Amino acid sequence: MDESYYVRGDGVVRADSIWGILRGLETFVQLLVPMSNGLLLTRRTEIYDQPRFKYRGLMLDSARHFVSKAKILQLIEGMAYNKLNVFHWHMTDDSAFPYVSSVFPELSAKGAYRPELTYSKADVLEVVKFARMRGVRVVPEFDTPAHTASWGASHPEIMTKCAGKFEGQIGPLNPTKESTFDFLYKLFSEIKTLFPDKYLHLGVDEVDSACWESNADIQDYLKAHGLDNGDLPYRYLERYSANISAMGWLQMVWQEAMIENSYMEWPKGTIAQVWFDYKKTMATLTKKGHDVIMSDGWYLYVLDTGADWEKLYNVEPTDFNGNKAQKAHVIGGEACLWSEWINEHNVLPTTFPRVSAIAERLWSPVEELSVDEARLRLEEHNCRLMARGIEARPANGFGLC
């Protein structure tokens, strides 16, 4: 996305793309000062602007707690007010499968909290269109092979039955069954029709192999094929990744997918999302030539008392040991709304204005970033967000808004 633009104080906005026009219009709106007589005043100015990073995202987990379509649309509206451009929709997890599939309707029938706490195809298409009109891409994530307990409620045949000390538990998807990959291909062929973005987030985080290792059928399969437990993640990833590529998707993964499976040959363009131990992980992955986005330090459900936006503002994605070529592989960052402690009623004030600090870090030149200078700017912007209908928490303690 070319989001560069030119704005003049008399209302002229120029850009080489519609995305640049949208960002320029947002800047022009922020230049307007309301007067007591009802008029809006702007100063004489000229602005040439473009983002420092091309990926500036916000992730929402709408599985652990359901978040309504109406709130999601408000969240995306607020993203546009902050020039964020990627909505990463983590739609399913162990706790719930809220998407109503046409090919496998039983997934939500048995995996959602309640029938009304689901997203229809029409809901998804509306979210995607709403976001696109505001210059926001929607990247879906249906996390596998772990975080899939909700899938097992209706399709236990693709899951791994744990044994031994894990007896009675269901583990990750079973990578030794052909039916697992047939199922995934059918499901993601449907999902592909709803999300036009070229990227799919595969997940692949927190995969515990202990259940695979405890399953007698899997161990028999490995023995029969001359394999061992270390081959299981590669068997899954190679088949699944190849199928996703065949559908025409590029891929994103959580960092473990690359760090723990270092021999995996990922398709060109695969992006790693880094969420812990970022100094070491960024250095390792960029040295191998992988593009990365930063999320470590930007988990918004971690709340501190007071103006905790300052700690978010001070996270720098390129603050690791690496050369210029490595730093060029850092294509942006993403704030994450995991929903253990977030629901319909607090998702907006948990996000805003704290995500505004991250948005400025990802947009503006690093040499122009200053907490002291940002403080008044953020206070004003927070008032603006609330005036535009976004439920935002106070930015700096007492204040007008």
Distance CA 266, CA 217 (A): 28
Q: How far apart are CA 218 and CA 215, in angstroms?
A: 5
* Catalytic member of 157, 206, 260, 340: 206
Q: Which of 134, 58, 123 is nearest to 89 (CA)?
A: 58
Q: Quote the CA–CA distance of 152 and 135 in Å, as a whole number.
A: 36
Instruction: Match 């947002």 to its residue by tokens.
Output: 26
Residues 6+ away with beta carbon under 8 Å from 329: 285, 286, 289, 290, 291, 292
Contact, 190 vs 103, CB < 8 A? Answer: yes
Q: Residue length, the chain?
A: 401
3-state secondary structure 109-120: HHHCCCCCCCEC
* Per-residue CA distances from 141 to 9, 14, 60, 380 (Å): 41, 35, 10, 34
Per the annotation, the verdict on 367 as an active-site residue is: no
Alpha-carbon span 195 to 154, nearest angstrom: 24
Distance CA 360, CA 381 (A): 11
Helix (H, G, I), strand (E, B) or coil at 65: coil
Helices and strands in the chain: count of H runs, count of E runs: 16, 15
Q: Cite the DSSP H helix spans in 157-255.
A: 178-192, 210-214, 216-224, 232-246
The answer to whether the beta carbons of residues 211 and 218 sit under 8 Å apart is: no
Long-range contacts of 10-18, Cβ-Cβ distance < 8 Å, separation of 24 or more = 10/42, 10/44, 11/42, 18/135
290 secondary structure, DSSP code: -
By annotation, the residues acting in catalysis are 206
